[in-house]
A and B are shown apart, each in its own frame.
Chain A
Amino acid sequence: KAGVTQTPRYLIKTRGQQVTLSCSPISGHRSVSWYQQTPGQGLQFLFEYFSETQRNKGNFPGRFSGRQFSNSRSEMNVSTLELGDSALYLCASSPGDLAGVGEQYFGPGTRLTVT
């Protein structure tokens, strides 16, 4: 099976711009979660989508949003970028049901730099 793929892998944006990141989960996985990783805060949960519905949300401002499509692919959007949004954004997928939900499979991440 192909793993989780994320595009783009690297991105440079300017303050005030918006950005959209994409994640394709492992085939058959219905849950997609997003995480932000920075040197100062470590790995932080952003949100999770399951069957096109947001199932859980972390403590991030409303500038961070996401969605999931019927094929389970997911996108996250960050509007009005700030310097502090520079981070590695990781996507993880899991089957989504009770049996396997803790076993998350992460993609390689998108490295976002805001200048």
Chain B
Amino acid sequence: DAKTTQPPSMDCAEGRAANLPCNHSTISGNEYVYWYRQIHSQGPQYIIHGLKNNETNEMASLIITEDRKSSTLILPHATLRDTAVYYCIVRVSSNTGKLIFGQGTTLQVKP
């Protein structure tokens, strides 16, 4: 699975969009980009995933660049409850549940 690089921390004002970047320059053609987040002392929570097209669900949007070497998770209207560590994971969608977590980005949403 490809390695990812994320900034260690970011701040965002409450109500504004939070844009979390992730670099995955060694991604292969059959590898997906997954995003999870972990709120303090809880288990990680699945957010969204994509292959090459942009994706949107009720939680967030995922923008993947055309060359697929980077992506951005967008929380359109961040709230204080979105304060968490966000993990970007690149993996092949094979029949295995193994996820390799990096250090993630700590997002602090401020009032």
Distance in angstroms from A79 CB to nearest chain B CB is: 23
Tell me the dominant secondary structure on chain A's binding face. strand
- B97 touching A56, Cβ below 8 Å: yes
Interface 1/0 per residue, A7-44 and B, CB below 8 Å: 00000000000000000000000011101000000111
- B96 touching A101, Cβ below 8 Å: yes
Tell me the dominant secondary structure on chain B's binding face. loop
Q: Does A87 contact B (CB under 8 A)?
A: no
Distance in angstroms from A5 CB to nearest chain B CB is: 11
Query: With a CB–CB cut-off of 8 A, which chain A residues contact B44?
Result: 43, 90, 92, 104, 106
Q: How large is the interface on B (under 10, 10 to 19, 20 to 34, 35 or more residues)?
A: 20 to 34
Among the 9-residue stretches B2-10, B19-27, B87-95, the one with 4 or more Cβ atoms under 8 Å from chain A is: B87-95
Number of interface residues of A (CB under 8 A): 30
Residues of B whose CB lies within 8 Å of any CB of A are: 32, 34, 38, 41-46, 49, 87, 91, 93-103
Residues of A whose CB lies within 8 Å of any CB of B are: 4, 31-33, 35, 42-45, 48, 50, 55-56, 58, 88, 90, 92, 94, 96-98, 101-109
Q: What would be 16 A-B contacts, judged by CB atoms less than 8 Å apart? A: A35-B101, A42-B101, A43-B87, A45-B100, A48-B96, A48-B98, A50-B95, A50-B97, A55-B96, A92-B97, A98-B94, A102-B34, A102-B91, A103-B49, A106-B45, A108-B42
